Structure 1
Amino acid sequence: MKKAVLLSGLFLTLLPLFRLDKRPRSYPAHFPEPLYRTGSGRQDSLQRELGRALFYDPLLSADNSISCASCHSPYNAFAHTDHDLSHGIADRIGKRNAPALFNLGWQPFYMWDGAVDHLDMQALAPITHPDEMGSGIGEVLEKLRSSDLYPFFFKEVYGDTLISSERFLKALARFQLSLISADARYDRVKQGKAVFSEQEQRGYTLFLQHCNSCHREPLFSTYGLAANGLPPDSTLRDYGRYTLSGLPQDSLRFKIPSLRNLAYTYPYMHDGRFTKLWQVLNHYSGIKAGSVLSAGLSGPLPLQADDKADLLAFLFTLNDSTFVFDIRNQYPKNIFARDEGKGR
């Protein structure tokens, strides 16, 4: 009886934590329609807040040391600037760089090799990978059910305390769908609220000539798979989509990342081999004969030093500080502060 009273009191203190976000998370008119529904009703907002808590909780890893945010920091547009390759439990190191997480609702598949075709299922990949979170879905669900907090979170969101894999994964996906980056200087230009400088306009013209076929505006990616002439790392021996399909034409094809928020998402490429944008541009202007290339990139780009400076000026207009520092996406300290020091 005493425990029931204590838990009831805890539930009452948790209710104010679900302060529903009334501010819009819509996308601007120059964006295409998303592939996923991005609702803003009460159920969506509650589910999003549960997903945010789960995203930042290391309980999802085998040894309770790694959360989703460990490799996807909000201050880096949900990428990871500390390491070229992802680091997991027990200091294990993966084979790929952690990609940025934003505008996921417009993407037809996920992971660098396109291995996951629905956002609801994506979280299973890092949770179960031995070099990342090293856990299992059953183990995670049991931890959530045994915690003092999550049964009440799930009841507030879903109406009862059932903690299932479907509810768990949908909450994580709902939070990630809300990570919309659409307030860069470029967006304000498109909305008639700003204008490009002369240099930015020159860079924009160069972008349309040389980059837009793969990094199509306004999302700045087709989110398809492509080979861009990078030679494989002799240590990692990562051949991209080919590892999954076994098809020769998929060799060295990786998912095309968005060019938004490049100031925050270094290092670049699937293996994090470049730390500076000028290195990326030098790669594209110096592609070697015989490199594996996809359609849309037939050889080295004819970029001189001035062209690269102009192109960089334009790329800087794609940085969205409003998104990066949006408190609604950050660690939910109002929830976890009450639970610090307690066994969950």
Structure 2
Amino acid sequence: MVINGCESVAEHPKVDAYKFEKPAHFPEPTYTFRNNQVNEKGFKLGKRLFNDPFLSRDGSISCSSCHVQSHAFADIMLHPFSFGVEDREGKRNAPPLFNLAFQKEFFWDGGVTHLDFTPILAFESEIEMDLSFEEVVARINRSADYQTLFKDAFGIEEVTGPYVLHALSQFMLMMVSADSKYDRYIKGDPKALTSLELDGLQLFRQHCESCHQEPLFTDLNYRNNGAQRSITDLGRETVTERMQDRAKFKVPSLRNIEVTSPYMHNARFETLQQVLDHYSDGVTEQLTIDPKVFADGKPVIALTSEEKEKIIAFLKTLTDPGFLSNPIFFNNND
């Protein structure tokens, strides 16, 4: 439709910024959207909950205390391990949050199998928010403001636990990161990557992709990559109770890796150079060491300094500036 030589506004319907959209080059989501479709009111309610320190025992921290947007919703270098009430320090690095709709298990050890239930562990952890989920719901019910917001979002008169979790999931589900330089290259822009970055992509596919599979840049499996010099954290074994899972941790996505230092579950490395040096020279024999990184008495991934430089250049193309600065995630309590 054209009016006076100009296209009508009707030709360009408004994009719903609060509707989950699967990137075309991504796999199908695993999240059960049929039970919890994202909408603007639910998303904004989830954002408020995510940023509310009132939901910790002493009112000192919120989910966003350890999951900072500018760091891909990971923690900052100041806190290599997750921290909680009374400045209690955890034993693992808080992982980034994005592309959660495509994951089947959560946390470094995969101890939760549905996104809706992940906040409960943070609420009830003695080294994080240290508040029973029952009390979280009770506090919300004592707030007239929250009661109004939940009624508007879900049409309920009394707030119950499942609706609290659904609201938080709606906020986290929208954390989709899929518009990096790499993504533009994959979608058909041959000039999106430089020759150095393209060389890095080829080296990455040769040496790294068996564990960090495109497009999510993780195979969602659990592996022991030798990040612990001596094993003090049993990792996946704490969930499965199988010795063969000792010291295995979920393979993290490498998207936005440029801004999520420190690296590994134990925050052992501060730079990408140190990570690649570990794989080239630092992996040692352990009972459950992954054969993709150590076999026949030596590290598997042999890289020259030049090759490491190229891989790092490529890894930086996985940074998604639009995601890191998307204003819909800002903590403005709207």
The reply to whether TM is greater than 0.5 is yes
Indicate if the aligned counterparts of 2:115 and 2:169 stay in contact, CA closer than 8 A.
yes
Task: Note closer, same or farther for the CA distance 1:60–1:296 as it changes in structure 2 (3 Å cut).
Answer: same
Partners in 1 of 2:138 and 2:15 — Cα distance? Answer: 29
Structure 1, 169-178 or 293-302: larger mean CA deviation: 293-302
Gaps of 5+ in 2: 1-13
2:80 aligned with 1:84, yes or no?
A: yes
Q: Does the residue aligned with 2:252 lie in a helix, a strand or coil?
A: coil
Q: Does the residue aligned with 2:318 lie in a helix, a strand or coil?
A: coil
After superposition, give the CA deviation of every residue in 1:33-80 in whole Å (9 maximum; x if it has no partner). 1112568x9862221111111000111111111100000011111000
**1:295 offset after TM fit, Å?**
4.5
After superposition, give the CA deviation of every residue in 1:288-324 in whole Å (9 maximum; x if it has no partner). 4423422433433110000000000100100001000
Identity %: 39
Indicate if the aligned counterparts of 1:232 and 1:252 stay in contact, CA closer than 8 A.
no
Partners in 1 of 2:323 and 2:85 — Cα distance? Answer: 29
Task: Note closer, same or farther for the CA distance 1:295–1:161 as it changes in structure 2 (3 Å cut).
Answer: farther
2:29 aligned with 1:34, yes or no?
A: yes
Alignment counterpart, residue 57 of structure 1, candidates 46, 52, 55? 52
**1:21 offset after TM fit, Å?**
7.9
Cα-Cα RMSD = 1.9
Q: What corresponds to 1:129 in structure 2? A: 125
**Could you state the TM-score of these two structures normalised by the residue count of structure 2?**
0.89
Q: What corresponds to 2:313 in structure 1? A: 313
Task: Note closer, same or farther for the CA distance 1:191–1:38 as it changes in structure 2 (3 Å cut).
Answer: farther
Indicate if the aligned counterparts of 2:57 and 2:129 stay in contact, CA closer than 8 A.
yes
Partner amino acid, structure 1, of 2:29: P
Q: What corresponds to 2:327 in structure 1? A: 327
Partners in 2 of 1:37 and 1:166 — Cα distance? Answer: 14
Indicate if the aligned counterparts of 1:27 and 1:182 stay in contact, CA closer than 8 A.
no
Q: Does the residue aligned with 1:172 lie in a helix, a strand or coil?
A: helix
Q: What corresponds to 2:224 in structure 1? A: 227
**1:196 offset after TM fit, Å?**
1.9
Indicate if the aligned counterparts of 1:141 and 1:163 stay in contact, CA closer than 8 A.
yes
Alignment counterpart, residue 107 of structure 2, candidates 105, 111, 114? 111
Partners in 2 of 1:332 and 1:295 — Cα distance? Answer: 47
Indicate if the aligned counterparts of 2:204 and 2:311 stay in contact, CA closer than 8 A.
yes
2:166 aligned with 1:170, yes or no?
A: yes
Alignment counterpart, residue 151 of structure 1, candidates 135, 143, 147? 147
Task: Note closer, same or farther for the CA distance 1:238–1:289 as it changes in structure 2 (3 Å cut).
Answer: closer
Indicate if the aligned counterparts of 1:38 and 1:177 stay in contact, CA closer than 8 A.
no
**1:190 offset after TM fit, Å?**
0.8
In the TM superposition, what are the counterparts of 1:263-302 in structure 2 within 5 Å?
Answer: 263-291=258-286, 292-298=288-294, 299-302=299-302
Indicate if the aligned counterparts of 2:283 and 2:293 stay in contact, CA closer than 8 A.
no
Indicate if the aligned counterparts of 1:52 and 1:332 stay in contact, CA closer than 8 A.
no
Partners in 2 of 1:76 and 1:249 — Cα distance? Answer: 33
The count of corresponding residues between Structure 1 and Structure 2 is 312
Q: What corresponds to 1:341 in structure 2? A: none
Partner amino acid, structure 1, of 2:204: F
Partners in 2 of 1:180 and 1:38 — Cα distance? Answer: 15
Indicate if the aligned counterparts of 1:102 and 1:179 stay in contact, CA closer than 8 A.
yes
Partners in 1 of 2:122 and 2:177 — Cα distance? Answer: 23
Partners in 2 of 1:283 and 1:163 — Cα distance? Answer: 49
Partners in 2 of 1:21 and 1:238 — Cα distance? Answer: 46
Indicate if the aligned counterparts of 2:279 and 2:293 stay in contact, CA closer than 8 A.
no
Partners in 1 of 2:205 and 2:37 — Cα distance? Answer: 41
After superposition, give the CA deviation of every residue in 1:138-171 in whole Å (9 maximum; x if it has no partner). 1111111111310000010111221000000111
Q: What corresponds to 2:239 in structure 1? A: 244
**1:267 offset after TM fit, Å?**
0.6
Partner amino acid, structure 1, of 2:146: Y
After superposition, give the CA deviation of every residue in 1:228-249 in whole Å (9 maximum; x if it has no partner). 0222567xx2121112323111
Structure 1, 84-93 or 238-247: larger mean CA deviation: 238-247
Q: What corresponds to 1:12 in structure 2? A: none
Gaps of 5+ in 1: 1-19, 335-344
Q: What corresponds to 1:9 in structure 2? A: none
After superposition, give the CA deviation of every residue in 1:166-204 in whole Å (9 maximum; x if it has no partner). 000111111111100001000000111343211111110
Partners in 2 of 1:192 and 1:142 — Cα distance? Answer: 51
Partner amino acid, structure 2, of 1:200: E
**Could you state the TM-score of these two structures normalised by the residue count of structure 1?**
0.86
Q: Which contiguous aligned blocks of 4+ residues in structure 1 show a shift greater than 4 angstroms? A: none
Partners in 2 of 1:21 and 1:92 — Cα distance? Answer: 43
